[in-house]
């Protein structure tokens, strides 16, 4: 009865489940509204849906499909914006991949891309690292940039290499050179420092440690 102590379920009226969750092993809690509260919530949701349909200029039954299409369009536009930002910053993903060097990691070959790039913000560098990683089968990518008078590094390591090389360790090594700190996960890490003039030195040290 949910604490209502009614003689029959019809006395409860409308019943709207809001959610459910586990509170302990074998026990789940159901949160719901009943009676007038449930009716008010249903009307509120109908009002919100009608407002969305009006904003999207489509019938109520097409709201979900329209939202999915808009999400896909936004995702595609975000991708285009990131590409344009990279181009505006002078970052060529293909050129970075061509600069890759073959290094030995515990006797096994891996591709290393360690370079300084021009970028407007840290997000551009992160995107560049992700895109270079996508093009390397077994890779280690370390990109550094001078942004707002500071040095920043983004490091990526293929998951099958993280048992031998950790992105967090590479970030810390770079941060030590540029006078800062950093760290992160075994496959992804970031670092920053106050001396961007030592970006090249930091990259050289990382190359030497992996060469």
The per-residue DSSP string of 56-91 comes to HTS-GGGHHHHHHHHHHHHHHHHHHHHHHHHHHTT-
Q: Which domain holds residue 64?
A: 58-88
Mean pLDDT for the chain? 90
**Do 84 and 151 share a domain, yes or no?**
no
Domain count, the chain: 3
pLDDT at 84 over 80: no
pLDDT at 6 over 90: no
**Do 107 and 127 share a domain, yes or no?**
yes
Q: What's the average model confidence in pLDDT over 85-94?
A: 70
**Do 33 and 4 share a domain, yes or no?**
yes
Strands (DSSP E) along the chain, which ranges? 15-24, 27-34, 101-105, 108-116, 139-147, 150-157, 180-184, 188-193
pLDDT at 211 over 60: yes
**Do 159 and 189 share a domain, yes or no?**
yes
**Do 65 and 132 share a domain, yes or no?**
no
């Amino acid at each position: 009865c949910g604490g209502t102590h009614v003689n029959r379920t019809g006395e409860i009226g409308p019943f709207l489940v809001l959610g459910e969750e586990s509170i302990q092993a074998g026990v789940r809690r159901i949160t719901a509204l009943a009676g007038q509260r449930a009716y008010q919530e249903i009307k509120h949701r109908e009002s919100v849906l009608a407002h969305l349909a009006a904003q999207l200029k489509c019938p109520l039954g097409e709201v979900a499909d329209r939202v999915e299409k808009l999400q896909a369009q936004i995702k595609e536009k975000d991708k285009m914006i990131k590409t344009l930002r990279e181009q505006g910053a002078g970052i060529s993903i293909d050129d970075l991949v061509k600069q890759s060097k073959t290094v030995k990691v515990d006797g096994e070959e891996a591709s290393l891309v360690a370079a300084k790039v021009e970028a407007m913000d840290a997000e551009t560098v992160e995107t560049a690292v992700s895109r270079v990683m996508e093009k390397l089968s077994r890779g280690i990518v370390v990109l550094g940039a001078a942004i707002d008078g500071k040095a920043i590094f983004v490091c990526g390591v293929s998951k099958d290499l993280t048992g031998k090389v950790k992105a967090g360790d590479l970030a810390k090594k770079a941060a030590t050179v540029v006078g800062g700190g950093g760290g992160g996960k075994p496959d992804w890490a970031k670092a920053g420092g106050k001396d961007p003039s030592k970006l090249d030195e930091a990259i050289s040290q990382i190359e030497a440690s992996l060469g």
